[in-house]
Amino acid sequence: MSAPVITVEHGAVGYDGRPVLRDVSLTVTAGEVVAVLGANGSGKSTLIRAVLGLVPLSAGSVTLFDRPLRRFRQWERIGYVPQRLGAGGGVPATVREVVASGRLARRGVLRPPGAADRAAVDAALRSVGLADRASDPVATLSGGQQQRTLIARALAGQPELLVLDEPTAGVDAASQEAFAGALRDFVTDGGTVLLVAHELGPLRPVISRAIVVHQGGICHDGTVPDPAGHHAEPDHDHVHPHGPDEPAGLWSN
Amino acid sequence: MELFQYPYMQRALIGALVIGLAAPALGIYLVQRRLALIGDGVGHVALTGVGAGLLLNRSPVLVAVIVATLGAIAIELVRARGRTSGDLALALLFYGGIAGGVLLVGLSDATSTNLNAYLFGSLTTIQVSDLITIAVLGAAILFTMVALRPALFAVSHDEEYARVSGLPVRTLNLLIAVTTAVTVTIAMRAVGVLLISALMVVPVATAQQVTRGFRSTMTAAMALGFFAAGAGVWVAATADTPPGASVVLVAIASFLVVAVAGGVWRALRRRATPTAALAPEPHEVVLH
């Protein structure tokens, strides 16, 4: 049995007293590719945010690479891909500048970037197929390309564990394929993956285990469940709004 | 030009140039965090420090640095809590700051001219000792903001990602808060507390209309701030206008020129390459 990378024991999270996760236990071992599935509001994003310490646990514990989260310092071993790039205050940043942020965990705050940093950024840009857009402002990229930028940023840090929050939500087919390819390479090189997804699409062959979160608890842990009902139809296009903050233009037409 | 033979004009020019260079180097991080007006708030708080300094017969700038730093740290702590009440807490701090300043100045023997010097700046009364303070602190601000750019960019761009990268997010945020306070207090002498935010923010707003990356925006904003400071002091000297207001108006004029020129250039380019706009993104979703 491989070493555990993530261990959650009896984890509980509440926002303003409203429970979002209750008594969740989960172990991810090295080399696994685990998908966390579930409906909107089921608590799946909260689960991975709690694993990373971005939301505090109200009960239970999280262990990363055999260290309690509170004392965990080896952040260069983890690559985090958030759901989307924040809009920020409108100051432009190039794709390369955003991806280069991924090296900070390894390099630290005070050391200026060196040749190894530049090489890792180049490799990460190539692996998601954005090498030719490196000096373009991220704001000019499509949603899928921005998502690939965030994946490249995580890969640039050469992590052992990738944690991704809905990496394929609202992403065009070309970007999904590019992403699935990058993930396959990462797993072949021995990486561990924990990802939240709404639907798996081209990622499905890469996933080794699925966890289904329902109403704040884990209701399935094992093989990837088969889609049911009209979800199982071969040409089913699983689409519905992901939240009120999507721009209206996406859904028109 | 012969006005610049006088030492007081030379001091005014050097002081303005240092501030013109340093203020946008900090301002770019504030703009990126949507805190463009925070300099204004810290300026209000600094005014209480000025009042306390005048009342206690201590160096107003020195007391202002201390009070503004405490205020900036308080604002950052409120911001980090992320509660909606933070908005009101900031309002209390801002107006408490300016009211406290006016009250304390009123209690002291200082005249309204003294207060005006801090509200709207008084470049031409800068002494050699002031200039040394401005130069040393300005150099420290510049060095910190440029040397720590990758980390400060990461924190301002995506704070959660910075946290998962193991960056000392709270320390970096406090560093920006303290640097804001220091910048505000040294810029206070040049443009006054009421116009400080302009020097931090306007050059960044001008630069980002034509730049593509963060680094190029920072460089261009610093160059624009430097230019506005130099040109503003020159205008003030030739036309006998208040220097602080002149510097800010030159900065805003540059913004308007770049905005119009950029708009015209983009329109011309669109006309030259009409096909570029005709290739739409593929639909990401289909609704049934």
What Å distances lie between residue A183 and A34, A166, A197, A236, B277, CA to CA?
Answer: 12, 14, 14, 24, 33
Q: Taking each helix axis from N to C terminus, what angle separates B149-157 and B7-32, rounded to the nearest 10 degrees?
A: 50
Q: Tokens standing for A252? A: 């028109």
Going by C-alpha positions, the residue among A136, A177, A171, A134 that lies closest to residue A156 is A134
CB distance from A85 to chain B under 8 Å? yes
Residues of chain B above pLDDT 90, percent: 48
Residues ≥6 apart with Cβ < 8 Å to A223:
A209, A210
Interval B1-17 mean pLDDT: 85
Burial grade of B92 (CB within 10 A; 0-12, 13-18, 19 or more): exposed
| pLDDT score, position B286 | 57
CA–CA dist A30, B72 (Å, integer): 44
DSSP E strand stretches across B55-179: none
pLDDT above 70: residue B18: yes
| pLDDT score, position B35 | 82
CB-CB under 8 Å, B33 with A97 = no
pLDDT above 80: residue B287: no
CB distance from B239 to chain A under 8 Å? no
CB A115 within 8 A of CB A121: no
pLDDT above 60: residue A229: no
Other beta carbons within 10 angstroms of residue B88's beta carbon come to 11
- Domains assigned to chain B: 2-273 (1.10.3470.10)
| pLDDT score, position A53 | 92
CB-CB under 8 Å, B166 with A91 = no
CA–CA dist A17, A9 (Å, integer): 20
Q: What is the mean pLDDT of chain A?
A: 84
CA–CA dist A5, A52 (Å, integer): 12
| pLDDT score, position A161 | 94
Interval A66-95 mean pLDDT: 88
CB-CB under 8 Å, B164 with A78 = yes
CB-CB under 8 Å, A105 with B287 = no
Residues ≥6 apart with Cβ < 8 Å to A204:
A224
Least confident of A64-68, A166-170, A228-232: A228-232
Q: What is the ipTM of this complex?
A: 0.85
pTM score, two decimals?
Answer: 0.86
Helices (H), A113-208: 115-127, 143-156, 173-188
Q: Tokens standing for B213? A: 């990356």
